[in-house]
Structure 1
Amino acid sequence: MSVLPLTLASHAIPNSAAGWLASIYYFGLLAGAMLIEPVIKKIGHRLAFICFVSVLALSVGFMGLSSTLSLWMASRFIAGFAVAGIFVVIESWLLIGDNKEERAKNLGLYMTSLYGGTTVGQFGIGLLGASGVMPFVATVALLLVAIIPALTAKQANPTQEQHVSLSLPQILALSKPALIGCLVSGIVMGSIYGLLPLALKATTNNLEQVGSLMAATVLGGMSIQPILSKLSCRMPKSLLLALMSLLGVFAMGLFHLDSSYGVQIVALALLGMSAFALYPIAITLACDGLASESIVSATQIMLFSYSVGSAFGPVAANYLMHTDTGLTGFFFAVLLTTAIYMLMVSLRTKPTALAQ
């Protein structure tokens, strides 16, 4: 995700395509979020995971062999579809169960693992460079390694394999803060992955610094996950969403006031804590009170909301990239609006209704 905007020049693709490549990926994520549940029902979590990771690896490999923008766009759409399947499989698998504390703990471990791997991956920008086929070869190799546990553990499937789709009234009854939290998470995360590397490259031509700044962002997101799993069981989740949004507002104010490298690292780590916290809080909020057989459907709906934000966020942010406020101003405005909404919701919520 981070290396793609940086490798455009070596493939003779204009930098202006970065926002569209990010958005088409998330449109694929959006399409996948609507169509994944029947696949899991038919072949189960384990085989679905193997299939989706294989498709993702093929899409990445195809990009390494091509330098045509239209083919890259098609590949990114397919990649988004496959990643939607991976997310729904893993998250529904981990959230199946009726114990709220266990769900929060499982999701916290998952997000820590996910962002830990992503953090290490950012250093690959400096190690492998951002030109030629090497970044694509390395990515495909890692994806193939990811399939091995699922291939060897043939009996590994969640205990609950009966899945019930939520009806329209049930979907409409899902937590509105949860839906909005996933939407905003998609807007911010899509822009971070799709455009932040380019914004950082504009301030420095040192790819190692870009990789380190991106790593700081993801490392911040990883470091907050164990804390979130504890806080989400002890305070209203809408208030927690508000606090995490305000943390991002503070981070962008800090980034805007001081552009030194050290301050940028701190500010982006705080942005990562904010941005990477929204989705796990929102999805656990959505699943509170749901029966296990409805979890796959609920996670699919939350991913759909995330995908809508991810698809349109980079396009909107791309227009602000060249203004005085830039990408930091975009993050500031989105997170401030979210914080205000979540604070209003938490103030209206009765003290006993901790799920809200």
Structure 2
Amino acid sequence: MTRMLASVWALLLGIVLIMLGNGMHFTLMGLRGGIEEFSAAELSIVTSGYFLGFLTGARFTPVLIQRVGHVRVFAALGSFMSAALIAFTLWAEPWSWTVLRIIIGFCMSGIYVVAESWLNNATTNENRGKMLSVYMIAQTLGIIGAQGLLTLGDAANAALFIGASILVSISFAPILLSVQPAPPVQLAKPGNLRNLFTASPLGTIGIFLLGSIYASQSGMGAVFGTEIGLSANQIALFVAMLFGGALLLQVPIGWLSDRLDRRKVICGAAFLGAVSCGLGWLAQSPPDWLFPDPLIPLMGAAFFAGGTTTPLYALLLAYTNDNVPAEEMPAISGGLVFTFGLGAIIGPLGMGFAMDALGPFAFWIVLGGTFAIIALYAFYRMSQRQAVPASETDAYVNLVPTASAVAVEDAANWAAENAEAEEAVG
């Protein structure tokens, strides 16, 4: 393990620094947007812009890499992202923020493709599962740490935006100065959505709905906090709880995933997410005898709602891989990433308009309702198809929802090969 980390420490350090900058800017959108008196609907469009750029970047970055190489693409995307972060303070208008968010989303998607290609090239099949888990932890710790940095400044001025830009700029130094060029990226085109749905209805519908949940949590969580009057420090804690739960809940959910019918685990995790959203909704007028401080149910709801989202993503990927032939995995992986991206674009739009129409606590109604749909559909699918025996399923791999098709395909192949190896030994 030590030798493995020593070979990729620069890449992991760079990822942590990038996520510090990116995590700061996500929360800053809600904080500064409240100061500029943007509506929830306007900020939802800004949020969706990021995921539109992210989906576009996933499609075109491999083409750019094949033309000019990893290093040039990586450096160019980092430069554009750093510049865009500073530009937020120059034009405080919803339309300009949306354009900048599209640019940042495109850049981040490309950065993930390049970084995950290097990561894949630096590992072997024996340690790939552990490396992907470490990579997930590095990303999540970066986002959580970013919320702590937000408490050091004031969103009303440019300092925090400049700080995020600096973090992104310096993150590329350890990577570009130490990582060897990786082989050209060759991603299979996403499979036809109809074929994807035929292969795994639950995986397709679940990934789409989960995309809307993840984008709404990460993009609209700070907006929710601003609209209910939380302080900047409380909002930072709230967003940190959304991502912190994933670090702890991945382990028990992953353990269950390798031992039970995955549809039952998906149903249970989604149900837990829905119940936690009910707790968040209750926070608008909590009974004093139960919650003397309304922050308690809010933070608890964030911990469990956010904590079930990332494991659900990995669960749905694993379940889909269980039901498709190995030769179809590249196209299926690309299709799942594309489907997740569509949900991530649409979800915040519905969330923003719901919050404008029903009030800020519609945040929990929309999230809880979406979790409930996933749970109910998983329950329904259990009556439509026989379960794959646990002994024949691929291994569960920790993956964050922001993973590119490179990591998703890599994880699918590793899980399948690992399962075959365990079956041969058994």
| Number of the residue aligned with 1:354 | 393
Match of 2:381 among 340, 345, 348: 345
Alpha-carbon distance in structure 1 between the residues aligned to 2:198 and 2:386: 16
Alpha-carbon distance in structure 2 between the residues aligned to 1:183 and 1:144: 33
1:286-307 CA distance string (max 9 Å, x none): 5567769964x65443332122
Alpha-carbon distance in structure 2 between the residues aligned to 1:39 and 1:291: 28
| Number of the residue aligned with 1:55 | 80
Identity %: 22
| Number of the residue aligned with 1:256 | 281
Q: Residues 163 and 262 of structure 1: is their aligned pair in 2 closer, same or farther, counting only changes over 3 Å?
A: closer
Q: Is the 8 A contact 2:197 2:204 kept in 1?
A: no
> Structure 1 residue 203 and structure 2 residue 203: aligned?
no
Give the superposition deviation at 1:170.
6.8
1:1-25 CA distance string (max 9 Å, x none): 1111210254565554211111122
Q: Is the 8 A contact 1:95 1:107 kept in 2?
A: no
Give the superposition deviation at 1:237.
3.8
Q: Is the 8 A contact 1:61 1:136 kept in 2?
A: yes
Q: Is the 8 A contact 1:33 1:84 kept in 2?
A: yes
Q: Secondary structure at the match of 1:278?
A: helix
Give the superposition deviation at 1:56.
2.1
Q: Is the 8 A contact 1:91 1:107 kept in 2?
A: no
Give the superposition deviation at 1:90.
4.3
Over the aligned positions, Cα root-mean-square deviation in angstroms equals: 3.3
Question: What one-letter code is carried by the residue in structure 2 that aligns with 1:354?
Answer: T
Q: Residues 234 and 90 of structure 1: is their aligned pair in 2 closer, same or farther, counting only changes over 3 Å?
A: farther
Shifted more, 252-261 versus 186-195: the winner is: 252-261
Give the superposition deviation at 1:249.
0.9
1:235-291 CA distance string (max 9 Å, x none): 444433322211101101222234421222112100111122222333444556776
Q: Residues 246 and 45 of structure 1: is their aligned pair in 2 closer, same or farther, counting only changes over 3 Å?
A: farther
Question: What one-letter code is carried by the residue in structure 1 that aligns with 2:301?
Answer: A
Q: Is the 8 A contact 2:276 2:304 kept in 1?
A: yes
Give the superposition deviation at 1:91.
4.9
Q: 1:115-194 to 2 correspondence within 5 Å?
A: 115-157=140-182, 163-165=187-189, 168=192, 175-194=200-219
Give the superposition deviation at 1:79.
1.3
Larger radius of gyration: 2
| Number of the residue aligned with 1:332 | 368
Alpha-carbon distance in structure 1 between the residues aligned to 2:76 and 2:264: 38
Give the superposition deviation at 1:219.
0.8
Q: Residues 50 and 221 of structure 1: is their aligned pair in 2 closer, same or farther, counting only changes over 3 Å?
A: farther
Q: Secondary structure at the match of 2:88?
A: helix
For structure 2, the residue ranges without an aligned partner over 5 or more in a row are 1-25, 287-293, 397-426
| Number of the residue aligned with 2:358 | 323
Q: Is the 8 A contact 1:252 1:267 kept in 2?
A: yes
Q: Residues 314 and 65 of structure 1: is their aligned pair in 2 closer, same or farther, counting only changes over 3 Å?
A: same
Alpha-carbon distance in structure 1 between the residues aligned to 2:248 and 2:335: 27
| Number of the residue aligned with 1:21 | 46
Alpha-carbon distance in structure 2 between the residues aligned to 1:71 and 1:134: 19
Q: Residues 237 and 203 of structure 1: is their aligned pair in 2 closer, same or farther, counting only changes over 3 Å?
A: same
Alpha-carbon distance in structure 1 between the residues aligned to 2:314 and 2:250: 9
Give the superposition deviation at 1:84.
2.2
Q: Residues 339 and 43 of structure 1: is their aligned pair in 2 closer, same or farther, counting only changes over 3 Å?
A: farther
Give the superposition deviation at 1:135.
1.7
Alpha-carbon distance in structure 2 between the residues aligned to 1:55 and 1:174: 39
Alpha-carbon distance in structure 2 between the residues aligned to 1:153 and 1:278: 34
Q: Residues 236 and 84 of structure 1: is their aligned pair in 2 closer, same or farther, counting only changes over 3 Å?
A: farther
Question: What one-letter code is carried by the residue in structure 2 that aligns with 1:341?
Answer: Y
Q: Secondary structure at the match of 1:64?
A: coil
Alpha-carbon distance in structure 1 between the residues aligned to 2:265 and 2:127: 18
Question: What one-letter code is carried by the residue in structure 1 that aligns with 2:309?
Answer: A
Give the superposition deviation at 1:174.
5.3
1:131-156 CA distance string (max 9 Å, x none): 11112111111112321232012415
Give the superposition deviation at 1:40.
4.0
Shifted more, 249-258 versus 341-350: the winner is: 341-350
For structure 1, the residue ranges without an aligned partner over 5 or more in a row are none
Q: 1:287-326 to 2 correspondence within 5 Å?
A: 295=330, 298-321=332-355, 322-323=357-358, 326=362
| Number of the residue aligned with 2:11 | none
> Structure 1 residue 269 and structure 2 residue 294: aligned?
no
Q: Is the 8 A contact 2:49 2:101 kept in 1?
A: yes
